[in-house]
Amino acid sequence: MSTDAPPPTLDELDALTTEELRERAFHVAREHHDVRFFVQVIRLLPASEDVEDNIDGSLGSIGESITDLVGLWREFTGHGLGSAEPVLRAEFIDYLMKHAPKP
């Protein structure tokens, strides 16, 4: 992303795939060290609820917890977003509209 380019418009961002939006938003958030953005994204992922519900500290739950964490990671990296995709697209677009480099 060049800082010489004008900020993207809503129509331009909406035309991108969810994966392109995720990559751009993650790039900007990494540059700004914006941990809050990443936490918000994780909270929007359906698998994050499964992980939270299944981690109870017992040895018997470790296998389930690992499976849930793998699912969360897949969603976090843009795979298997399911019903959360529209909400995540909106989050990515909103973030990019607010934080994209200005000319």
Residue 27 lies in a domain: yes
pLDDT in tens, 3-37: 566 778 999 999 999 889 988 998 898 899 888 88
Residue 24 lies in a domain: yes
pLDDT band at 98 (very low <50, low <70, confident <90, very high): very high
pTM of the model: 0.68
Q: How many domains does the chain have?
A: 1
- Residue 83 is part of which domain span? 10-99
pLDDT, residue 39, reads: 82
Residue 23 lies in a domain: yes
Locate tokens 């470790």: which residue? 62
pLDDT band at 47 (very low <50, low <70, confident <90, very high): low
Distance CA 15, CA 49 (A): 30
Task: Give the CA radius of gyration of the chain.
Answer: 16
13: tokens are: 């961002």
Residue 40 lies in a domain: yes
Contacts of 6 (CB under 8 A, 6+ apart): 103
Residue 5 lies in a domain: no
Residue 48 lies in a domain: yes
